[in-house]
Structures are given as structure tokens and as C-alpha cells.
Structure 1
């Protein structure tokens, strides 16, 4: 009598069971029970909506261009250099960093670290759902307080108030969410359920926007 062959495989639901091992006998397959939820075809449902949104955006941009001129300056004069010289808008954030940090730090070190982070982060075993930042209140509160204090002190030493302000605002929201974590409803209680990655990205976007706005209008 031939023995049953045992094969190994992984669960098809990697979100709920990322490391579950399933033993399948013979040629049968594991039955995955779950509601796939409502489904729609890409065409025509998604593509038609995207086409409509694209046309509306084009119409709005054309109307704006008809009624308002682009804020262009006079023709460039090679004998007259504007003071201060402004980089393109997508580099204004980096240019603003030069007011606070040495050129090597602002122009090379910080952009390099950001690029490396964007490359490396996808290779980490990141939880899809993410645990709330206050899942361990006492321990995480100490870590947050120490991190925020050191970061704000570092920015204050370099007089980097453009970065200090959004950092302080995000830190204040984070601490307010700690006090409201036990509530049932409320905006701060919703923030208390956000993971660490959400807070880091919020801080990064706030700093980038603040640097760009200050570099554009001031």
C-alpha cells in the first residue's frame, strides 16, 4: 500500500496568517474560507471614472490659464543675479535646509538618507495592519518623549525653526492622542490607533510642506 505523500505550502491569506504552514495530503488543496467582498471590473467602471476625472482636471486647468496669467518674471538677465537665488519649487525644501545646516548635511547627507530609507523600507517585514503606537502605553510614551525632546533640542541648536514648528505640532498631536486613547470616540482617539509608520510619514510630509512654503514665499 502506497503511503500518502505529504506536501508543504503556505497559506494563501498572508495578511492574517503570514507564517502558517499547511500540510496538504495527496493532490488536494487547502480550502480558504473568506468573503472576497464586492468586486468590480477595471473596465468600464474604473477607466471611465479616471477618464472623466482627467477631462475635468484639464477643463479646470484651461479655465485657470485663461483667466490668470502664470507668475513669470522678466527675461533672465545674465548681468543681474537675483538675491536670493531661488531653486525650482521641487528643490525649495532642500534649499531651505541650507539656511540651518552645513552644505554637506543639507545637500548630500539628508537627501541620501531619505533615498536609502525609501529603498530599504520595503524590505522590512512590515505588518500590513500595523499596531497602534500606544499598544504599550507606558513604554512607548517614554520612547516618544525622549525622541521628541532630543529632536527638538537638535533643531533648536541649529535654529531650524522652520522644521521645529511642524515637528512640535505633530508631537503635540501625538501626545494629545495618548491622553485620549481610552475614549470611545473623537478625533484624538482615532489618532491613537494610528501606527508608528503613519506618524513618521505625517511628520515627514509636514516638514516638507513647511520648508517648501517658506522657501517659496519668504
Structure 2
């Protein structure tokens, strides 16, 4: 990974600030030691730091002590495929978008490779060091048991702003943050069952009402198509545009 990152930044595509990001990646890797699995620099944009999940809280606490005192956000990703598809029986669903497109498949595979490891769920948080005008996106792959993601330590005692973010991740993905004072729902009723942002959560409403913009398009009968074409040409000639 490091070799690929170096190659990506050494050519003409390197953007202003990437050298600083490379230096920061090396600095934070040394700071966090064995907690770091790999780093990645998105040219001209972001520094990603993937860490072992058991070091989640201690790593973020160390980064705060190192000047990354501003908490941006915390969220999660479910990398699995939705087992029921998109709930619309369209020609796109039947054919499978990008299944036969090697370039599309390669791009998707590269995105997942950069994004994380082999686990289904991933936790991520963004921190900023205002004094250094620097930011870092921290990622951790979460093992799961029968679709239930692993419990991780809460960071609300490190970053108070993570309170609602952890509650949302718990509500939407089912991630338990050990030590959080109150993992109550934010959006859903208390008695609501399930976690809507998991890919296996059934969107039953969409089985009844298709996504907006998805419609059944009927073919125009040949005789009607010829008639419409004749009418359009007649109007075109009558307007003088065809002279």
C-alpha cells in the first residue's frame, strides 16, 4: 500500500499539499505505532488512516493530544450488498449495472480496497488540527457475528461532540459504543426494531411504491410513431424552418 501511495504522489498528478500529507502520514504512523494498518492519500484531498479496531479510543485520544482537537464527524459503512436488490424490476436490475464492464468493476474494487479490509462494517471519524490546517480520516474495520458488528469503546469522554454521532451509528447500524452514557434513539421510535442503514434492512415501502423516477416505459406502436414523425415534420416545414 505504501509503495502504491508513493507512486501515486511522485508523478505530475500530485497536488499542492500532498507532500505535507505524506509527512503527516509518516508522523501519525510513528505516533500510533502498531495501531496503524495502512495510510492512503487521496490526491489533493484527504489523508486516510486505517487502524486496528481495538485501538479505536486510544488512537483518537492520542491524536487529540497531538493537536487534532476538533471533532468533525463519526459514522459507519456497511460494505455488503443488499440481498434483495433495489426493489425495482427494471432492465438495469435485470442486466446488472457494470457486471460486464471490467473498468467499472476495477474501479469499484479499488474503492473497496482503499476503503477498508475484509469485514462488512467499518467505523470512521474525521479529526482536524486547526493550528496546523490539517485533517485526517480515521477508519477501523469492525468484525461481526451473524451480522452484528463488534462493540467498540465510546469516545465521548475524548470528544464530547461524538455523543449524537455514536447514538446515530448505534441506531442506524446497531454498533454498540461501550461507555456511552445514553445510546437512545434520535430519529426512530424507542420500540422500533432493526437498523435502517444496514444493507439487509428490508425497505418494504419500496416494494409497494418504486423509487421516484423509476417508471415503466412502453414502446410506441410503429404506426403511431410514423404519424407523430409526420406531424412534427409538417409543423417544421410550416414554420419555414425547413426552407
Range of TM-score over shorter length: under 0.3
TM-score scaled to structure 1, two decimals?
0.20
More helix by share: 1
More strand by share: 2
TM-score scaled to structure 2, two decimals?
0.18
